[in-house]
Amino acid sequence: MEGFTRRPRSTREEQLLVKAKRLLPSAVLSSSFSPEHAMVVSSAAGARLRDASGNEYIDYLMGSGPLLLGHAHPAVVDAVRQQAEKGSSFLVVNEKAVELAEAIVECVPCAEKVCFNNSGSESTFFALRIARAFTGRDKFMKFEGAFHGMHDYALMSNQWTSGPADFPAAEPNSAGIPRVIEDQVLIGPWNDLETARRLIEAHAGELAAIIVEPMQRSFPPQPGFLEGLREISQRHGIVLIFDEVVTGFRLALGGAQEYYGVVPDLAAVCKGIASGYPISVLCGRADLMELAGPARLAQGDHVRMTGTFSGNSIACAAALATLGELRKEGTYSALFAQGRKLMAGLHGELERAGIPHQLTGEPPAFQPWFNVEVATNFRQALKADPALGARFGALLVDHGVLKAHEKFFVSTAHGDPEIEQTLEVFAAVADLLARAG
């Protein structure tokens, strides 16, 4: 395909990048930065995004997942505009927050009560605190390769770990984390139930929680894995937390817990819910969530977890409008159908070009790996070829397709024209990769 090639950078974009270099650490807004994202965005609508040089991209980065309806969905923009005129932040209970809490309890299987936060990191952090308060235990298990946000407890043995430690030792993924924290974290192997079970049983009396991404990054659970964790956590009185920051409302209205059919005690939901407005939800069993209420002060087991912007009415209005769209008949079947076309197209083109690869994930969020035999967890995926993956991402950008550094995030705004254009780009990029050897 001749198609799109990126225009030279405009003077305006060059100037903005120079300013960003002076003002922002490493000139980026996110530490999960890919070199191909060295651009300045000027606007986006639906599935398309425009840079400050006037290049248009089909966007599968989608803000790292939250734009499940695409950018600037009219229903969301309208709801935000209407609410902005009525006020934004009140701290006290407001109409939109109550309506949203009700909608979440209707949709998410584990949700009996709901608290609002601003980011996924806050909700996983508070979920662990509730689990500690409830059980009177301090430690928790997370799985190697899983990412639960940026707080000290979460940044252990996640996807940036290049030399993993022996299970269950934790490997901090950031400077500045106190050494005492890693002693509180046990690392288990994703999709290896027998080893996980052995580790959990050996430490059951100390474990407050097991936290999982029910689809870990892009590795779906093997049959029986989540069910096994559910059974063993119940047996030992350990709180099972699903980090549904990515999967919530993306895999189904009820998230991964509906999609995979395993219901946790607590869930953190974030990206899928509000079309890019900052809100996250911690929800779950009423007896656990009640600890967050100040009524528990008298009992001495109150878990403090409030924030100035909790239940911000603009974010809640955006979420209600998003859920209104997601609840429409046929939304998820259309979303999955588009994702399946992309996965089949990418697989077909890479195979035709003779490039060994594997696609993991589910149709609304999937990831290609290069030169790796079948991987079902992080340690196996470490054998993939990161240089080829990075080259693939950079060539896509040059051909007008943007993806997250790991995944393709598909939205309801990716219509047939976007999918067809993307499939043509896959063909061109597969040829270029094959030619480069």
Ligand X SMILES: Cc1ncc(COP(=O)(O)O)c(C=O)c1O
The residue among 71 and 271 lying less far from ligand X, judged by its C-beta, is 271
CB 378 within 8 A of CB 145: yes
Q: How far is the CB of 58 from ligand X (least distance, A)?
A: 21
- Token digits for 335? 């979303």
Residue number, 171 or 290, with CB nearest to ligand X: 171
CB of 401 to ligand X, least distance (A): 21
C-alpha count within 13 angstroms, C-beta hemisphere, residue 183: 3
Closest approach, Cβ 219 to ligand X, in A, equals 12
DSSP one-letter code for 26: G
Residue 149 or 363 with smaller CB distance to ligand X: 149
- The least CB distance from residue 7 to ligand X, in Å, is 30
Q: Which is nearer to ligand X, 52 or 365 (CB)?
A: 365
Q: Which is nearer to ligand X, 135 or 218 (CB)?
A: 218
Instruction: Provide the minimum distance between the beta carbon of 250 and ligand X in the complex, in angstroms, as a whole number.
Output: 11
Looking at beta carbons only, is 41 or 150 nearer to ligand X? 150
- Work out how close the CB of 402 gets to ligand X at its nearest, in angstroms, rounded to a whole number: 17
Distances (CA, A) of 437 to 215, 327, 390, 392, 393: 32, 46, 14, 12, 16
Q: Which two tokens stand for residue 226?
A: 């989540």
Nearest distance, CB of residue 281 and ligand X, angstroms: 11
Smaller CB separation from ligand X, 96 or 407: 407
Q: How far is the CB of 191 from ligand X (least distance, A)?
A: 16
Instruction: Name every residue whose Cβ is closer than 8 Å to that of residue 304 and which is 6 or more positions away in sequence.
Output: none
Closer to ligand X by Cβ: residue 151 or 198: 151
> What are the residues binding ligand X (CB under 6 A)?
64, 119-121, 124, 147-150, 213, 243, 245-246, 270
- Tell me which residue of 267, 231, 233 sits closest to 247, measured CA to CA: 267
Which residue has the closest beta carbon to ligand X? 120
Burial of 22 (0-12, 13-18, 19+ CB in 10 A): exposed
**DSSP track, 267-334:** EEE-TTTSTTSS-EEEEE-HHHHGGGSGGGGGGT-------TTTT-HHHHHHHHHHHHHHTSTTHHHH
91-97: long-range contacts (C-beta < 8 A, 24 or more apart)? 91/308, 91/310, 93/311, 94/311, 94/313, 94/316, 95/313, 96/311, 96/313, 96/316, 96/317, 96/320, 97/311, 97/313, 97/316
